[in-house]
Amino acid sequence: MARLDRFIQILHEQRADALRLGAGTVAALVAQGGNRPLTKEALSDAQIVALVREIAPAPLAGDVTPRAQLSFPYASPSGAVDVELASGAGGLVATVRPAGTGNGAAASDGVRAATAAATATVTESPAAAERRAQARTDVEELLRVLVESAASDLHLRAGEPAVFRRHGELVRHDGPAYTAERLGDMIDSIMEPREATEYRESGDADWAYEIAGLARFRCNAGRDRHGPLLVTRVIASKLPTTDELGLSREVQALCHLSKGLVVVTGPTGSGKSTTLAAMVDLVNRTRSDHILTIEDPIEFVHQGKKCVVTQREVGRHTRGFKQALRAALREDPDVILVGEMRDLETVSIAIETAETGHLVFGTLHTTTAAGTIDRIIDQFPADRQAQIRVMLAESLKGVVAQTLVRKIGGGRVAAREILLSIPAITNLIREGKTFQIPSIMQTNRKGGMVTLNDALMELVDQKLVEPREAYMKAVEKSGFVASLKAKRHDTSWLGESA
């Protein structure tokens, strides 16, 4: 919510003629020829610029300066208003009037129309257009460096130079620190009007950005105490195959199921999206079905091969995951990808959908297979958990819990814990004995199940990962140390980690 929205609400409630913000004076309501102060301290040019920028249409935000002369409509939560900005002898003056009552730009009927007008009909000045183009060039140059250096993420924040994440570690780029104003222009230059409005109103926005011939990027913009910030992650332009990712035959077999729930889990940045994209691509290449994906935002783009592929983006094509998942049942899907099962209703619909003859892929931010099952069940009220255990026991076909580990010599490799549905696992889920699942997984290794400790130990045995690095990623550390010692791996570093 913009800071001016509170004052605009008072403007409407008091039926005042205008809200006036003038440099060197307090904010005040103008009513019946008099002024009614709303603040105790006088405002500065910089404060007025900051307040007005929060509500200005994205194309005009860069033009809001202490010397600005402009006007625009704004759809506040309490009602539409017209905003005028002018430079007077004493400094900047902003005047806010109820829509249609002043000399500013005419507002259309209703809040939605005013918002549309504010974001769609504003014409940029030549200077603003040039600044926007330069800002986009600056961002795209950094994104090219991001891809060419084989880094995964780019961090931009006010007061600091660019920071890249390479092989899991943050590395500062040689370059100047970015001012809040310049970084704001850079963020705005790669946003569509919808994301710009969301960012202005909520302080956060997620979207995908593409540079033709280079790559797609998942972007997140936010604000902290220093100003705006931007984090972008590379989405590979070429879809990896399941074989290239090293997914086992048992995991690939999950892609050939006609129904059931398959969950890919792991912490942020563990490669869940890449693994899911490869599994969806396997379905696309080998089956003749309708694949429906629900994502926020769309990351990997799937072109129809043997399948028909529908990709929907939350916020752009649908209001939310649960709404899209509910609607999906009327869209004749065979395979559904739910980008994130983030709330109880989404999880509930996903389980029901998997039970009714659809193959559902989903993600959670858990670290182990057994923990995934507990997380799903614990989202429900106590009086529903017994029922959900029964439904989950029947519908859950597999869990792939993965984490990325630094390789010896550079790069990262995935360690994957794999849980597959067998009668023993089904019974433990139904009876609420998930704590026994790891032991069942260990005794069924020949069937394709792997615990995280065993996956990490295999990487150590193959001399792909240092024992200490694997230990840091292990969840059950005492058991992992025992395995290291049993195989006579060097554990002299244990004193450092204690």
Which tokens is 74 given? Answer: 């704004």
pLDDT > 70 in the chain, percent: 93
Task: Say how far apart CA 481 and CA 472 lie, in whole Å.
Answer: 11
- Residue 467 predicted with pLDDT over 60: yes
Task: Say how far apart CA 365 and CA 32 lie, in whole Å.
Answer: 57
Question: Could you tell me where the DSSP H helices lie in 56-125?
Answer: 58-61, 111-120
- Residue 498 predicted with pLDDT over 50: no
Q: List pLDDT tens digits, range 366-398.
A: 999 999 999 999 999 999 999 999 999 999 999
- Cα atoms in the 13 Å half-sphere on the side-chain side of 98: 15
Average pLDDT taken over every residue of the chain: 88
Task: Say how far apart CA 193 and CA 206 lie, in whole Å.
Answer: 13
Task: Say how far apart CA 229 and CA 227 lie, in whole Å.
Answer: 7
Q: Mean of the pLDDT values across residues 30-49?
A: 84
Q: List pLDDT tens digits, range 203-239.
A: 899 999 999 888 899 999 999 988 999 999 998 778 8
Most confident of 9-13, 100-104, 125-129, 350-354: 350-354
Q: Mean of the pLDDT values across residues 174-199?
A: 88
The reply to whether omega before 297 is within 30° of 0 (cis) is yes
**CB contact at 8 A, 110 and 123:** no
DSSP for residue 159: T
Split at pLDDT 50, 70, 90, the class of 70 is: confident
What pLDDT, on the 0 to 100 scale, is given for residue 496?
56
- Cα atoms in the 13 Å half-sphere on the side-chain side of 85: 24
- Cα atoms in the 13 Å half-sphere on the side-chain side of 437: 31
- Residue 361 predicted with pLDDT over 70: yes
Q: Mean of the pLDDT values across residues 97-115?
A: 50
What pLDDT, on the 0 to 100 scale, is given for residue 102?
54
**CB contact at 8 A, 374 and 410:** no
DSSP letter string, 6-69: HHHHHHHHTT-SEEEEEBTS--EEEETTEEEE--SS-B-HHHHHHHHHHHS-HHHHTT-STT--
Cα distances from 73 to residues 194, 214, 308, 310, 413, in angstroms, run 16, 38, 43, 37, 52
Determine the 3-state secondary structure of 110 from DSSP: coil
Q: Note the CATH architecture for domain 126-235.
A: 2-Layer Sandwich (3.30)
Which tokens is 167 given? Answer: 């092989």
Q: Where are the domains of the chain?
A: 4-120, 126-235, 249-497
Candidates 3.40.50.300, 3.40.30.10, 3.20.20.70, 3.30.390.30; CATH matching 249-497: 3.40.50.300
Q: Mean of the pLDDT values across residues 105-130?
A: 48
What pLDDT, on the 0 to 100 scale, is given for residue 111?
34
**CB contact at 8 A, 470 and 483:** no
- Cα atoms in the 13 Å half-sphere on the side-chain side of 289: 23
Which tokens is 269 given? Answer: 């940045």
**CB contact at 8 A, 101 and 24:** no
Q: List pLDDT tens digits, range 242-283.
A: 999 999 999 999 999 999 999 999 988 899 999 999 999 999
Q: List pLDDT tens digits, range 298-353.
A: 889 999 999 999 999 988 888 889 899 989 989 999 999 998 898 899 999 999 99
What pLDDT, on the 0 to 100 scale, is given for residue 40?
82
Of 28-37, 48-57, 163-172, 387-396, the range with the lowest mean pLDDT is 28-37
Angle at 53 between CA 51 and CA 55, to 5 degrees: 85
Task: Say how far apart CA 401 and CA 263 lie, in whole Å.
Answer: 8
Of 109-113, 299-303, 465-469, the range with the lowest mean pLDDT is 109-113
- The answer to whether the predicted template modeling score (pTM) of the entire model surpasses 0.75 is no
DSSP for residue 318: B
> Residue 132: what are its φ and ψ, rounded to 5°?
-65, -45
**CB contact at 8 A, 264 and 247:** no
Which tokens is 288 given? Answer: 């003749």
Split at pLDDT 50, 70, 90, the class of 114 is: very low
Q: List pLDDT tens digits, range 412-450.
A: 999 999 999 999 999 999 999 999 999 999 999 999 999
Q: Which amino acid is at 284?
A: N
Which tokens is 319 given? Answer: 């209001």
Split at pLDDT 50, 70, 90, the class of 100 is: confident
Task: Say how far apart CA 269 and CA 371 lie, in whole Å.
Answer: 18
What pLDDT, on the 0 to 100 scale, is given for residue 117?
39
Determine the 3-state secondary structure of 188 from DSSP: helix
Decide if 4-120 and 126-235 have a common fold: yes
What pLDDT, on the 0 to 100 scale, is given for residue 482?
94
- Cα atoms in the 13 Å half-sphere on the side-chain side of 114: 24
Cα distances from 33 to residues 24, 96, 150, 169, in angstroms, run 20, 15, 64, 62
CB atoms within 10 A of CB 35: 16
Q: Note the CATH architecture for domain 4-120.
A: 2-Layer Sandwich (3.30)
